[in-house]
Amino acid sequence: MSGESEIREFLESRTRAHESKDIDAAMSFYAEDLVYYDAVAPLRFSGTEEVRANFLRWFDGYDGPIELETHELTIAVDGDVAFANMLHLIPASTKAASNCRSGCAKPSAFGGWTADG
């Protein structure tokens, strides 16, 4: 499997975890020292504890699964380092539709890909 296809599978798996609101599965994709930026205040979250609390707040805003549409995905891979950038559209399955720009980059040299934000 090529680096780009590995990243695509990684991102698809991460999206499925978010859509199903599986907090443990979702958090398994993120590095422990991540800094995560969101579209809602306070905007910046540091470390898995803060990100986990933010995701739980997000998940609680939906009665059922969350639908995420990925658009404008770009992936760059060089050896064991990759960067991905995408636009997530969250259709109006709760109070209102929203858009979120997302990106992640992390070396795989330590046993697989993780997202750093």
All structural domains of the chain: 1-96 (3.10.450.50)
Q: Chain-wide mean pLDDT for the chain?
A: 82
Q: Distance between CA 32 and CA 54 in Å, rounded?
A: 15
- What is the β-pairing status of strands 44-46 and 69-78? unpaired
pLDDT in tens, 68-114: 888 999 999 888 888 888 888 887 555 544 445 555 555 554 456 66
The SS3 of residue 64 is coil
> Could you tell me the two tokens for 68?
């995420």
Quick one: pLDDT at residue 97?
A: 45
- Residue of 23 and 101 predicted with greater confidence: 23
